[in-house]
Amino acid sequence: MQISVWTASGERRGAVRRRCLDPLEPASEPELRVVTSRFASVSQSPKKWIAFGVAVAVVLALDILSKSLAEAHLPLGEYREVLPFLGLERTMNTGVAFGLLAGRPVLILVARGLALTVVLAYLFIETRPLLSGIAAGLLVGGSVGNIVDQIGRGYVTDFLKLPWWPNFNVADVFIVAGVGLLLVSLVLTWRKAEESARTESSSDPPSEDTTA
């Protein structure tokens, strides 16, 4: 969009191009270079990848340790109450989280692969390095933990039990937490876009009729 600039005598001095939120207006080459540069700097941020790596490592360690303890100390199918709303009951889950897609290993691997692809794409796109690194790390760590279990044993060890809820494990808990953080980041991004749009709209000068 262009805004004509006029002198007091009515002489047109030229046109000043300003940034516009209209998605139909193509961005200029300098604008594209700025956006690309910012995207690359965020994608390559050490903070993002450190947070991602630490989250994956912590989730995998806790998942492997908890499953090993459950295998060693919980007889299959035996229920032990820990709290009024939480118990321990080891089961063999041949599906995905909460027993979904049980008995369909190929479909399970395809679904997990697609989910990991989406998470990694989010990791590259999200501009908040710490939030995106932790959220993606929780999701990837939990998913990889269950994939390793599924491939190595043919089933996933579940041992946490809530009333009226299918059995699950530590990896599932972290996956749910990662999804929650991802939703938070999407809400923050939406709110930031709304605020930017309002700021841009309020800062627009009144349009002038240049046909007179």
Contact criterion met (CB below 8 Å) for 149 and 157: yes
Point out the catalytic residue in the list 22, 63, 149, 158: 158
Point out the catalytic residue in the list 22, 63, 149, 172: 172
Length of the chain as a residue count: 212
Spatial CA neighbour of 159 closest among 86, 61, 101, 56: 86
Residue 112, token pair as written in the block: 């997990």
Dihedral of alpha carbons 152, 155, 62, 141, sign:
positive
CA atoms within 13 A on the CB side of 139: 24
Using CA atoms, how far apart are residues 202 and 161, in angstroms rounded to an integer? 53
* 63 part of the active site: no
Contact criterion met (CB below 8 Å) for 66 and 77: no
* 22 part of the active site: no
Contact criterion met (CB below 8 Å) for 96 and 108: yes
Residues annotated catalytic, as ranges? 158, 172
